[in-house]
Amino acid sequence: MIENRKALDIFCHCVLTLGMLLVSFPLILMVLAATHRADVALPGPVSLVPDAYLWENLVRVMTRAEGGLTVPLSRTLFNSFVMAMVICVGKIVISVLSAFAIVYFRFPLRRTGFVLIFATLMLPVEVRIFPTVEVISRLDMINSYGGLTVPLIASATSTFLLRQFYLSLPVELAEAARVDGAGPMRFLFDIVLPLTRTTLASLFVVNFIYGWNQYLWPLLVSHDPAMSTAVIAIKGMLGEGAINWPLVMAGTLLTLLPPLAVVIGMQRWFVKGLVDSEK
């Protein structure tokens, strides 16, 4: 049977285009709403014809407290960036060291330690979030960057993925490094980490988005508006009464840009890291 490749290609492109439109339509609507004049209430559904007030709305939400906010959105964007970077870098550093120790060191209860780390994957966040809030409160870390980031730094998922990657490396690499007189840390920094670059890049993207999109945890430990995050600020911009949708959409657009820039900037390494982790 001769397969009709042309018809199949047309069908696949139609399905792909339809899916792309369905996924991107809310984003297109967000950008269009952000271009309209903020001082005029929208009479009904958002017009699909763009206006010329996008830059004015972006500057306004970055420099002034709008809606139900008491601080400009720029302050909350900075808090979100600090939170996402600390969580991301912290997760990677701790996961690299813990996975390296589990794979290349021999010490008592090594397997038990890994099983305990792996078991935390089975524990829902909601089960441990209120005890964690109590601990953070007793340590006087409410309304601080430490309270926002420290409880979220440890990652069983990253540790597990890096352990699996380290186990796939040839044993001869460690033996050759030992023969050449390289210590454990030199073996880690000169041989293991360069081979793990794509996996670390994919973990960076995933963990940055995880830290940036946090909503429940910052809501519980940051009561000061100056320590709030951008995701919570968007909810605060809705306020009470009439909602200024052009400004809300402008704030949403600004909140979307940092994770989008990380994904686009590291796309090649991110995809390669995911493909390598499946081999």
| pLDDT tens for each residue of 242-268 | 778 888 899 999 999 999 999 998 888
- State the pLDDT at residue 275: 66
- State the pLDDT at residue 198: 86
pLDDT confidence tier of residue 2, bands split at 50, 70 and 90 = low
- What are the tens digits of pLDDT across the range 47-102? 778 888 889 989 998 988 877 788 899 999 999 999 999 999 999 999 999 999 99
- State the pLDDT at residue 183: 87
The DSSP annotation for the chain comes to ----HHHHHHHHHHHHHHHHHHHHHHHHHHHHHHTS-TTS---SSPPSS--S-HHHHHHHHHHS--TT-SS-HHHHHHHHHHHHHHHHHHHHHHHHHHHHHHHH---TTHHHHHHHHHHGGGS-HHHHHHHHHHHHHHTT-TTSHHHHHGGGT--HHHHHHHHHHHHHS-HHHHHHHHHTT--HHHHIIIIIHHHTHHHHHHHHHHHHHHHHT--HHHHHH--SGGG--HHHHHHHHH-SSS--HHHHHHHHHHHHHHHHHHHHHTHHHHHHHHHHHH-
- State the pLDDT at residue 274: 66
> How confident is the model over 273-278, as a mean pLDDT?
62
